[in-house]
């Protein structure tokens, strides 16, 4: 296997714009003035707290390209976080209902003071992923109504006629089990003149200090170069890079300098278990912890510690709870603070979260990592600017279902990335 000079040049060009975005990200703060004179407008239909939109916000500060004109979500606290950080309008609503008619969608669009009907639109639609997730524990063999949000997004595309559609979800979306959902979405967009590309990417390849594998889908009305990794496994950001400078806390303690660096007060029994787990990446010893954990190998990570010199595991909305996975501090006997999980998700420190403590953990865990979204925004920007018409085959693009085994899919991606490291 060889990497062509042309491919290396594309990676270099992409990394150049991405590196400029990193400088903005390090010094990011909420803007006090909404952008309203850019070439493209961005509408986010499943906005959450704004992880995906934040990448477009960062790129706009370099390229003057995107206006963030509004977000829709069901959760009021997530919308408050989105609105206050991105200084844009929000609307609390259900896209599965709003997408049923143009009138309902117009109610949403008319509530966005900066939305312009004829302005080229980038439509973000990162539907909630729990319906597709391999971690569903209950009624796993039944149809999940949340999966119908994919068809709702397709309907919204038909009504809004955007130039670009962006979707991020769990890798299982592209598995054999759920391929029919993706195929419906793909066929719907292709019938409207879109070229659609999808792939599975590790967030760690985009400077996120976390191994988080996600399906990324981008559709444009002209051909475009798809998303490319920004770094390799040898240069992954680690837990140490992200949180080692934060002050030491005992369970129940709070930082006097950072309102988000507050350690949860655990039960004495929980702290006793954590203390028995070896420091720096240790796993709960056999026989330690509740009896129910001894019965299943799938619980091996429960009460485990993060490793200082590796990326974190996937941060979920359960990351506050050591009993939910490898969510213990590398050497302090406690779970992770809001500041720690927000940094592991690559949120800038100046990004402010609103809501209850549990809500904030959920907002962070369900968000698209902003540095991944920065790379996606850059891919969209380049695609809009280059308007390459000749279709070519690209190695990262998935055209058939991936294995039903998520574990084997991840192993294949890691091997592919390792092979590329050896060749460069």
Report the largest interatomic distance among the alpha carbons of the chain, rounded to a whole angstrom. Answer: 64
Instruction: Look at residue 396 and tell me whether its pLDDT is greater than 70.
Output: no
Q: Is residue 140 part of a domain?
A: yes
Annotation says 49 is catalytic: no
368 φ, ψ to 5°? Answer: -75, 130
Query: Between residues 100 and 166, which one has the greater pLDDT?
Result: 166
Q: Is residue 242 part of a domain?
A: no
Q: Is residue 359 part of a domain?
A: no
68 and 92 share one domain:
yes
Instruction: Give the CATH number, domain containing residue 10.
Output: 3.40.50.150
Find the angle CA(224)-CA(229)-CA(235) to the nearest 5 degrees.
165
Range in 105-114, 251-260, 372-381, 400-409 the model is least confident about: 400-409
227 and 262 share one domain:
no
223 and 85 share one domain:
yes
- Cα separations (Å) of 268 from 249, 252, 273, 274, 304? 16, 11, 9, 10, 17
Last residue of some domain: 283, 317, 336? 336
327 and 387 share one domain:
no
Place of tokens 């496994």: 233
Instruction: Look at residue 131 and tell me whether its pLDDT is greater than 60.
Output: no
- CA nearest neighbour of 167 among 227, 115, 118: 227
Catalytic residue from among 49, 126, 129, 198: 129
| Mean pLDDT of the chain, nearest integer | 86
DSSP single-letter state for residue 41: E
Range in 211-225, 339-353, 395-409 the model is least confident about: 395-409
pLDDT for position 228: 92
Return the structure tokens found at 264.
């949860």
Instruction: Look at residue 307 and tell me whether its pLDDT is greater than 70.
Output: yes
Return the structure tokens found at 248.
């030491």
394 lies in which domain range? 5-236+366-423
If pLDDT is split at 50, 70 and 90, which confidence band does 14 have? low
279 and 388 share one domain:
no
372 and 331 share one domain:
no
Per the CB < 8 A criterion, the answer to whether 133 and 172 are in contact is yes
pLDDT for position 286: 87
401 and 257 share one domain:
no
- CA nearest neighbour of 14 among 228, 226, 317: 228
Return the structure tokens found at 73.
């979500």
* Total number of domains constituting the chain: 2
Q: Is residue 346 part of a domain?
A: no
| 38 vs 343: CA distance, rounded Å | 30
183 and 332 share one domain:
no
CA-derived radius of gyration, the chain? 21
Q: Is residue 396 part of a domain?
A: yes
pLDDT for position 306: 98
Q: Is residue 253 part of a domain?
A: yes
27 and 83 share one domain:
yes
Last residue of some domain: 296, 316, 336? 336
321 and 374 share one domain:
no
Q: Is residue 198 part of a domain?
A: yes
Q: Is residue 261 part of a domain?
A: yes
- Give the model confidence (pLDDT) of 226-284 as tens digits: 999 999 999 999 999 999 999 999 999 999 999 999 999 999 999 999 999 999 999 99
80 and 227 share one domain:
yes
147 and 56 share one domain:
yes
67's CB contacts (< 8 A; 6+ apart) are 34, 35, 36, 37, 38, 40, 41, 42, 60, 114, 119
Last residue of some domain: 336, 356, 387? 336
| 321 vs 359: CA distance, rounded Å | 13
Interval 356-381 mean pLDDT: 97
Kindly give the residue spans of alpha helices, DSSP state H, lying in 367-405: 370-386
Per the CB < 8 A criterion, the answer to whether 88 and 9 are in contact is no
């Amino acid at each position: 296997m060889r990497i062509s000079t042309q491919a290396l040049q594309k990676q270099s060009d992409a990394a150049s714009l991405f590196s400029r975005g990193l400088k903005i990200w390090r010094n990011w703060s909420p803007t006090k003035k909404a952008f309203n004179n850019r070439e493209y407008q961005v509408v986010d239909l499943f906005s959450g707290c704004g992880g995906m939109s934040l990448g477009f916000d960062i790129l706009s500060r370099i390229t003057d390209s995107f206006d963030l004109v509004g977000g829709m979500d069901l959760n009021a606290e997530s919308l408050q976080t989105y609105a206050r950080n991105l200084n844009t309008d929000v609307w609390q609503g259900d896209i599965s209902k709003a997408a049923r008619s143009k009138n309902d969608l117009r109610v949403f669009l008319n509530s966005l003071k900066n939305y312009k009907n004829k302005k080229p639109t980038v439509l973000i639609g990162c539907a909630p992923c729990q319906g597709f997730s391999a971690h569903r524990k209950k009624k796993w063999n039944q149809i999940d109504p949340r999966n119908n949000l994919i068809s709702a997004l397709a309907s919204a595309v038909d009504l809004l006629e955007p130039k670009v559609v962006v979707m991020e979800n769990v890798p299982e979306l592209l598995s054999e089990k759920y391929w029919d959902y993706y195929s419906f979405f793909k066929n719907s967009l292709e019938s409207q003149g879109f070229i659609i590309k999808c792939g599975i990417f590790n967030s760690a390849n985009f400077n996120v200090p976390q191994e988080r594998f996600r399906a990324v889908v981008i559709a444009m009305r002209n051909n475009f170069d798809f998303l490319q990794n920004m770094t390799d496994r040898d240069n992954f950001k680690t837990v140490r890079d992200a949180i080692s400078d934060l002050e030491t806390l005992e369970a129940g303690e709070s930082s006097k300098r950072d309102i988000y660096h507050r350690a949860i007060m655990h039960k004495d029994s929980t702290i006793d278990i954590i203390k028995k787990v070896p420091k720096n990446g240790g796993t709960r010893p056999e026989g330690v912890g509740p009896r129910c954990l001894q019965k299943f190998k799938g619980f091996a990570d429960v009460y485990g510690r993060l490793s200082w010199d590796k990326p974190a595991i996937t941060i979920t909305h359960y990351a506050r709870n050591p009993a939910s996975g490898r969510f213990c501090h590398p050497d302090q006997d406690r779970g992770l603070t809001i500041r720690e999980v927000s940094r592991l998700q690559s949120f800038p420190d100046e990004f402010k979260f609103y809501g209850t403590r549990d809500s904030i953990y959920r907002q962070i865990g369900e968000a698209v990592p902003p540095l991944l979204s920065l790379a996606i925004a850059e891919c969209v920007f380049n695609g809009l600017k280059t308007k390459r018409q000749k279709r070519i085959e690209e190695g990262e693009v998935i055209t058939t279902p991936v294995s039903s085994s998520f574990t084997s899919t991840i192993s294949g991606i890691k091997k592919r990335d390792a092979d590329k490291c050896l060749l460069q």
